[in-house]
Structure 1
Amino acid sequence: MSEALTALAAEADDRDPLTALRAAAELRRQLDRMEVVAVRRARTQGVLRTDIANALGVSKQAVHKNYGGNRLLPGTR
């Protein structure tokens, strides 16, 4: 995965603006997926939303809004 992200980051710096835009958009999608997985892992391990918020540089309310309550925990909705 890291090699793919490295390649996308390099393409995002391409002189061709359309190549750079496509790469930046895909890089953003991949990073968003990685963030969701990391938050889910943190919540499953009992990490407090406050600590997750601090790690992400956002408010606790933003974590709750973006990752909603317990919906990321296995067996919950």
Structure 2
Amino acid sequence: MSSSATKRRIGLVLIGIGIALLLVASVLAYIELLTGISIPQPPSLESVLYVLAVVTYKVAFIAVIAWAGAILITRGLQAL
């Protein structure tokens, strides 16, 4: 097996993993959109800060997954 064929296979694997990560990030974001976060009534400063912290955590988590997927796709395309 030549080096070119191995490089192509590695590129395709990286692209596949990257696409899978982007799909996972999209599904997670969609699920979070559907579930939403409820703010107790009446909203206090503590509850608003808690909701803000949870939303920030979830957005950061999904962003890291999407970023990793995009990096893998880029590296896979470079390997082709």
Higher RCO (Cα < 8 Å, 6 or more apart): 2
Q: Give TM-score, length-normalised by structure 2.
A: 0.44
Q: Which has the larger radius of gyration?
A: 2
Q: Give TM-score, length-normalised by structure 1.
A: 0.46
